Amino acid sequence: MGRPGEWLTKFRRSRLLVITAISLSVFTDTFLYTMIVPIIPYTLKERVGIADGDALKWTSVFLTVFGLTNVLSSPVVGLLADLTSSRRVLFMLGLLVLGLSTILYWIGRTVAVLIAARALQGVSATVVWVIGLAIINEVADPDNLGASLSWVWSANTLGALSGPFIGGVLFKYFGYHSVFILATGLILVDMALRMLMAERSHSVTRHVSDNASSAEEAQPSEERRLLNSSDQLVESFEGTNTTHGSYTTFNSDRNSGGESKPTPAPSRSSYKLLLCYPRIATLAVSSAVNGVIFSAFETILPLYSVQLFHVDSARVGLFFLALSGPMLISPLFGNLTDRYGTKWTAVFSTILLGVATILMGTVNHNDIFNQVLLGGLLFLCGVGCTGQRVVMSTETGLALQALVNEPSLAEAELRVENLTGQAYGVLGTASGIGVTLGPVLSGWLRAQSSWMTTVTLLGFVAIALAIPSVMYTGGRLRCKGKCRSAD
């Protein structure tokens, strides 16, 4: 039995603690984001002095600020995550930003202060998701990566479902300040776990299973040609110079003692490299479309359900519960992804989401059957969204491993650890764009056309994602007699 200090160090570096700490961070971030929602009308009216007629406008502004902050901060956070020697430091800074945001919400009495609080909340969310997923991607067992990442999505859903309810109850029975007292306590618990967690240095090469290695060696030449289509991209990583594009390596003579070489430092050009790679580009498009569709539901569903069924806000909340609830079964999709691969899980989820969205156009009568039908279709949409999100977070690490094994980039000596943060930054930016555009596009479509037309267009956009998913997700599909994935 080891000494207590050794046992504690081992526990602090354990996968269980790391995944638990990051899942709690995601829960805290989402919980605080949604817990404040029920008190926004009170804050705007009673504390800021906004007229009732302007409340909706400023609420929309707050939603837009959050999305834009995600878009702008994701590339920066991703780059910093790969440049810094300790992602845990950035993770702690993200918590401090969340604490500052909460304080500004608590004391804010002007629109400017509340907008600043919302912007800081967006930065905090970016840090939690980009840094958190990058850390899990490095510490998780490659054969159980999907299952490990899926717990984060379950924590996110639990926070989204419980936040508005608890926030509303606290505000109603214990007053305005009770909401933020709970928020402060939750942040302190989150801080304790983040401090307890000891990060494994991401300069250490991650172990990859033999299956993953053999799969990437089998990657077809056509996908490599797609990667090589940008002459500048390839040229920046070719040759024998000590500088490869914006990656600088300090190579000693391989024949003069074999000294170790520092890891290439990432730079902004990495984003060009990532976006030119079909598997990462497919993930970015999927993330944007997922954000558009989910935020579109948040925009058009409440008004349509009230107009059609004449229901109150509680019944509308049940519809959203049907949409968000399936994310609690994220671990199931994580296990499916680990067992059957990301390709077919992505295709199934995408088609399910698209078909269920299109069928929602048939909900057009005020009766119990149509209410149940809408709830059931929203549940299926939630299942599809859940599958997509688990696949996106899992496929990112697998795609990066394939990218660094590209023969055309061998001279660059790329490593997964130096690209992980930026890859998740790409997904964060794409998702932020989707969340920002979703309410605008769906609101405009709904104003110009019918409910059926709006959901049908959204559904076909989702189904269209199945094409690049079949082609690139999990490796390019090869057809020789029978179709099979490069994986």
- Shared domain check, 143 and 5: yes
What residues contact residue 84 under an 8 Å CB cut-off, 6+ apart? 90
Tally the domains of the chain. Answer: 2
Report whether pLDDT(32) > 70: yes
CA distances (Å), origin 342, targets 146, 177, 477, 481: 9, 45, 12, 22
Residue 195, judged by CB atoms within 10 A of its CB (0-12, 13-18, 19+), counts as middle
- Shared domain check, 450 and 387: yes
Is position 416 within any domain? Answer: yes
pLDDT number for residue 201:
55
Tell me how far apart the alpha carbons of residues 371 and 359 are, in angstroms, rounded to a whole number.
Answer: 13
Query: Which residues form the domain of 349?
Result: 211-239+268-487
Report whether pLDDT(163) > 90: no
- Shared domain check, 223 and 195: no
- Shared domain check, 104 and 58: yes
- Shared domain check, 441 and 393: yes
Is position 44 within any domain? Answer: yes
Q: What is the mean pLDDT of residues 361-384?
A: 95
Positive or negative: CA dihedral 286, 292, 295, 297: negative
pLDDT number for residue 3:
67
Of 154, 183, 202, the residue at which a domain comes to its end is: 202
pLDDT band at 205 (very low <50, low <70, confident <90, very high): very low
- Helix and strand counts by DSSP (H, E) for the chain: 20, 4
Of 202, 225, 251, the residue at which a domain comes to its end is: 202
pLDDT number for residue 211:
43
Q: Count the neighbouring beta carbons within 10 Å of the beta carbon of residue 158.
A: 18
Report whether pLDDT(218) > 80: no
Q: What percent of the chain has pLDDT over 90?
A: 35
Decide if 385 contacts 400 (C-beta within 8 A). no
Q: What is the mean pLDDT of residues 296-319?
A: 84
pLDDT band at 288 (very low <50, low <70, confident <90, very high): very high
pLDDT number for residue 475:
87
pLDDT number for residue 102:
92
Is position 148 within any domain? Answer: yes
- Shared domain check, 175 and 32: yes
More confident call, 87 vs 485: 87
The DSSP string of 149-213 is: HHHHHHHHHHHHHHHHHHHHHHHHHH-HHHHHHHHHHHHHHHHHHHHH--PPPTTSPPP--HHHH
Q: What is the mean pLDDT of residues 307-328?
A: 84
The CATH number of residue 324's host domain is 1.20.1250.20
Is position 248 within any domain? Answer: no
Does the model's pTM come out above 0.85?
Answer: no
- Shared domain check, 429 and 335: yes
Of 202, 231, 259, the residue at which a domain comes to its end is: 202
Strands 247-248, 243-244: pairing is: antiparallel
pLDDT band at 362 (very low <50, low <70, confident <90, very high): very high
- Shared domain check, 235 and 150: no
What residues contact residue 228 under an 8 Å CB cut-off, 6+ apart? 234, 408
Is position 308 within any domain? Answer: yes
More confident call, 412 vs 162: 162
- Shared domain check, 215 and 83: no
- Shared domain check, 275 and 195: no
- Shared domain check, 283 and 390: yes
Is position 59 within any domain? Answer: yes
Is position 249 within any domain? Answer: no
Q: What is the mean pLDDT of residues 65-71?
A: 86
pLDDT band at 392 (very low <50, low <70, confident <90, very high): very high
pLDDT number for residue 269:
54
Q: What is the mean pLDDT of residues 253-275?
A: 55
- Shared domain check, 364 and 287: yes
Is position 334 within any domain? Answer: yes
Output the average pLDDT for the chain: 80
pLDDT band at 244 (very low <50, low <70, confident <90, very high): very low
Q: How far apart, in Å, do the first and last CA atoms of the chain sit?
A: 41
